[in-house]
């Protein structure tokens, strides 16, 4: 029953009663003379509506009983019937018992001794104004007018109507109906704050009689009495706990700024629903809140969003007004025990710090601190495109963003780059597009492809060694092999020296023609891909000559990039070699020599492999930059854990087609990044 309703009912009841009394008695003398009026209705109305509208405490009952007794004393002696004495005894009992109870009561009623509980409950019923003064009123009316009179009937009807209007549910229904549109701005609160978690999240107990329905992500407003400010918040969670409904509300200055508050007058700490929030994109960007156990490199967050997210997603948050970006690497379901049987289940995400985006330099820079718990997290907002220099190129973007992953083609070559991934993950398509960007200006690309794939995909791709030369060189190599197979005292050193000189000459010329010529890429092939010794020797000699041209002739002023496609066929790991271990070792060594010293002589590798297990580690470990697509292989994961944290290694098996992780010196940003290679039509 609202205060407004009670005051109206009291005013109207008094006026009607006085008017009724005047008509029935012909004067207003009843106000001072008649017991029924003074002790009955007046006290009934005043006490039940003003003093004890909800329930009567021991002290109220004591006062009620004393008032009742005093008014009984006003009854003249000749009107004191047996009922009078009953009333007097009851009143006296109430005075005495409520006085004693006032002394005895110490705790909430439910925790008192059962006798005290029973006595108090009886007293409350007997001593409340509706009981005690209603009986006085009815008794007074009967006493004065008898039961067959008009006066009795009129006053009885008045009493009945008054009592009915005083019933709480009737009062509420009437109150609601009179709620005019104008008074709507004094909206009903939906609940009240009872807890605060790290200054921006509030726990609210919902009230049982709230009229507004609530659901997750609704906007609410309130006035918080601790900071003396109005706030707008969103509902992040709804719990049912110990038969009570709770909600968790997030407030931030950003939400506060979203729109004007709609309510002009709040009751402090009460929560009001915003019924028609203006259009805004907050919930399309909001992901969740920073969760416990976050560290500088990796945050954990509770996912609480309308937006779908997945691994690789870029998210941002504010730490001391620095916008720091993270990339999602993991999602974990979690169940939290609230109380005995209540649980709340949610998802915890993990994201690795990429850092602050330096717009000028177009790269991420590590930020050296953690966000505090409950910091809101958002989908990263778009950035303006960074400027890119001549030797740089965008190999892709972080998934669903326009944050570019920029590779420096010069570093990619001179510091060697490995492209790894399971079959069909997109390595070769990616490598070919990378080669296109690398093979410009003074950089020449030699593709070692034993599968013939590149020749079919790249138009006008010629072999560095013509077929005739290849045949001649193979013959020379065979001659050498025959000589070397003999005992050392039987070898013809002249033939050997002659053959070697010619091999060097053929390869040297071919390389010189290419380096000084117009075409920027060529392919180096073998007759077949088996590791037979003459092929191995052929390869070894080629790289030996290539290395010496780099060393002695400075590549004729060019930079050379050697692409090793299906690298395990060219530079196998020693323990996984097949046919001829010694020949293989020699080949691998001649290539490893370039890997180890190439940077000095402006020559480098792009190594493409499915798994690292069967590829020479001497070469692989020289690759400063790595681009890794989906990988399922354990050895590869172990190998890659030298390059990136376990969180990134952990998501390798789940990387989507055309999605890869890039890291190393060739990239502008220092941390690993998950990125998506754009669709490439070859």
Applying CB under 6 A, which residues contact ligand ATP?
421, 423-429, 610, 658, 677, 679-680
Q: What is the C-alpha separation between 466 and 229, in angstroms, rounded?
A: 82
124's contact among ligand ATP, Mg ion, none, with CB below 5 to 8 A by partner kind, is none
414 is a site residue for Mg ion (CB under 5 A): no
Shortest distance, CB of residue 566 to Mg ion, whole angstroms? 7
d(CA 448, CA 450): 7
Q: What is the DSSP string of 91-132?
A: HHHHHHHHHHHHHH--S-GGGS-HHHHHHHHHHHHHHSHHHH
Residue 118 vs 632, nearer CB to ligand ATP? 632
Instruction: Pick the piece of the chain touching Mg ion (CB under 5 A) from 148-156, 357-365, 422-430, 634-642.
Output: 422-430
The least CB distance from residue 636 to ligand ATP, in Å, is 13
Residue closer to Mg ion (CB basis): 128 or 568 = 568
610 binds, among Mg ion, ligand ATP, none (CB under 5 to 8 A by kind): ligand ATP
- In degrees and rounded to multiples of 5, residue 676 shows phi and psi of -115, 125
Binding of residue 91 to Mg ion (CB under 5 A): no
d(CA 119, CA 131): 16
Segment contacting Mg ion (CB under 5 A): 197-205, 221-229, 420-428, 485-493?
420-428
Q: How far is the CB of 235 from Mg ion (least distance, A)?
A: 51
Q: How far is CA 109 from CA 48, 112, 117, 123, in A?
A: 22, 5, 6, 13
Applying CB under 5 A, among 374, 428, 630, 659 the residue interacting with Mg ion is: 428
Going 526 to 531 to 532 to 537, the CA torsion angle's sign is positive
- What span, in angstroms and rounded, lies between the C-alpha atoms of 59 and 453? 98
Say whether residue 659 binds Mg ion (CB under 5 A). Answer: no
Q: How far is CA 505 from the centre of its chain?
A: 64
Residue 408 sits in the site that holds Mg ion (CB under 5 A): no
Q: What is the closest distance, in whole angstroms, from the C-beta atom of residue 411 to ligand ATP in the complex?
A: 22
Quick one: 408 or 610, whose CB is closer to ligand ATP?
610
- For Mg ion, give the closer residue by CB, 274 or 448: 448
- Indicate whether 313 belongs to the interface with Mg ion (CB under 5 A): no
- Measured CA to CA in angstroms, residue 622 lies from 443, 592, 607, 629, 649 at distances of 20, 9, 10, 19, 19
Judged by beta carbon, residue 296 or residue 429, the one nearer ligand ATP is 429
Task: For residues 607 and 562, give the distance between their C-alpha atoms in angstroms, rounded to a whole number.
Answer: 8
Q: How far is the CB of 605 from Mg ion (least distance, A)?
A: 16
Question: Of Mg ion, ligand ATP, none, which one does residue 680 interact with (CB within 5 to 8 Å by kind)?
Answer: ligand ATP
Pairing of strands 298-303, 343-358: antiparallel
- The smaller minimum CB distance to ligand ATP, of residues 146 and 653, is found at 653
Rounded to the nearest whole angstrom, what is the least distance from the CB of residue 426 to ligand ATP in the complex?
3
CB of 285 to Mg ion, least distance (A): 39
- Token output for 429: 């398509």
The residue (of 57 and 427) whose beta carbon lies closer to ligand ATP is 427
Contact 403, 394 (CB under 8 A): no
Beta carbon of residue 422, minimum distance to ligand ATP (angstroms, whole number) = 7
**Smallest distance, ligand ATP to C-beta of residue 404, A:** 16
Among ligand ATP, Mg ion, none, residue 109 binds (CB under 5-8 Å by kind): none
List the structure tokens of 681.
Answer: 């039509």
Categorise residue 32: left if φ over 0, alpha if ψ from -120 to 50, beta otherwise: alpha
316 phi and psi, to 5 degrees? -135, 155
Residue 181 binding: pick among Mg ion, ligand ATP, none (C-beta 5-8 Å cut-off by kind):
none
Stretch that binds Mg ion, among 289-297, 421-429, 588-596, 597-605 (CB under 5 A): 421-429
- HSE, side-chain direction, 13 A CA sphere, residue 28: 4
- Which positions touch Mg ion (CB under 5 A)? 428
């Amino acid at each position: 029953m609202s205060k407004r309703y009670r005051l109206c009912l009291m005013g109207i009841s008094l006026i009607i009663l006085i008017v009724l009394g005047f008509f029935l008695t012909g004067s207003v003398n009843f106000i001072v003379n008649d017991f029924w009026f003074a002790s009955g209705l007046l006290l009934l109305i005043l006490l039940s509506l003003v003093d004890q509208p909800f329930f009567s405490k021991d002290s109220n009952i004591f006062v009620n009983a004393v008032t009742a007794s005093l008014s009984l004393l006003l009854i003249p002696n000749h009107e004191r019937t047996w009922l009078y004495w009953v009333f007097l005894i009851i009143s006296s009992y109430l005075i005495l018992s409520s006085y004693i109870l006032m002394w005895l009561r110490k705790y909430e009623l439910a925790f008192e001794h059962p006798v005290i509980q029973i006595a108090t409950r009886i007293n409350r019923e007997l001593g409340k104004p509706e009981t005690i003064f209603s009986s006085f009123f009815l008794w007074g009316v009967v006493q004065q007018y008898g039961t067959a009179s008009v006066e009795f009937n009129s006053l009885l009807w008045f009493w009945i109507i008054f009592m009915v209007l005083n019933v709480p549910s009737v009062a509420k229904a009437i109150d609601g109906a009179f709620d005019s549109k104008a008074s709507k701005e004094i909206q009903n609160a939906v609940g009240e704050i009872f807890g605060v978690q790290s200054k921006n999240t509030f726990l609210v107990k919902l009230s049982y009689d709230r009229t507004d329905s609530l659901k997750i992500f609704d906007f609410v407003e309130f006035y918080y009495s601790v900071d003396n400010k109005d706030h707008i918040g969103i509902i992040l969670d709804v719990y049912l706990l110990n038969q009570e409904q709770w909600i968790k509300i997030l407030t931030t200055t950003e939400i506060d700024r979203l729109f004007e508050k709609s309510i002009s007058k709040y009751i402090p700490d009460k929560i009001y629903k915003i019924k028609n929030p203006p259009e805004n994109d907050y919930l399309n960007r909001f992901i969740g809140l920073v969760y416990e156990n976050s560290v500088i490199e990796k945050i954990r967050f509770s996912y609480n969003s309308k937006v779908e997210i997945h691994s690789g997603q870029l998210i941002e948050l504010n730490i001391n007004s620095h916008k720091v970006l993270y990339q999602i690497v993991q999602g974990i379901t979690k169940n939290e025990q609230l109380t005995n049987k209540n649980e709340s289940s949610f998802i915890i995400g993990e994201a690795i710090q990429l850092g602050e985006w330096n717009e000028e330099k177009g790269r991420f820079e590590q930020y050296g601190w953690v966000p505090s718990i409950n910091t809101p997290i958002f989908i990263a907002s778009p950035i303006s495109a960074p400027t890119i220099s001549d030797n740089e190129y965008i190999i892709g973007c972080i998934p669903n963003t326009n944050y570019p992953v920029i590779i420096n083609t010069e570093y990619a070559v001179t510091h060697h780059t490995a492209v790894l991934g399971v079959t069909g993950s997109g390595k070769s398509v990616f490598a070919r597009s990378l080669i296109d960007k690398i093979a410009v200006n003074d950089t020449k690309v030699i593709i070692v492809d034993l599968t013939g794939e590149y020749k079919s995909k790249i138009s006008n791709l010629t072999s560095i060694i013509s077929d005739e030369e290849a045949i001649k060189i193979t013959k020379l190599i065979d001659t050498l092999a025959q000589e070397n197979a003999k005992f050392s005292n039987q070898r013809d050193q002249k033939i050997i020296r002659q053959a070697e000189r010619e091999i060097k000459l053929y390869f040297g010329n071919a390389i010189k023609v290419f380096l000084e010529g117009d075409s920027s890429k060529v392919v180096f092939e073998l007759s077949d891909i088996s590791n037979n010794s003459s092929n191995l020797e052929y390869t070894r000699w080629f790289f030996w000559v290539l290395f010496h041209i780099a060393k002695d002739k400075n590549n004729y002023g060019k930079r050379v990039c050697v692409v090793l496609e299906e690298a395990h066929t060219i530079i196998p790991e020693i323990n996984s070699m097949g046919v001829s271990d010694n020949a293989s070792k020699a080949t691998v060594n001649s290539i490893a020599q370039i890997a180890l010293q190439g940077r000095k002589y402006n020559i480098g590798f792009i190594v493409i492999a499915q798994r690292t297990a069967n590829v020479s580690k001497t070469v692989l470990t020289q690759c400063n930059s790595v681009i890794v697509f989906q990988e399922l292989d354990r050895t590869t994961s172990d190998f890659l854990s030298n390059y990136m944290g376990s969180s990134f290694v952990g998501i390798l098996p789940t990387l989507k087609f055309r999605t890869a992780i890039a890291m190393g010196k060739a990239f502008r940003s220092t941390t690993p990044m998950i990125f998506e290679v754009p669709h490439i039509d070859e």
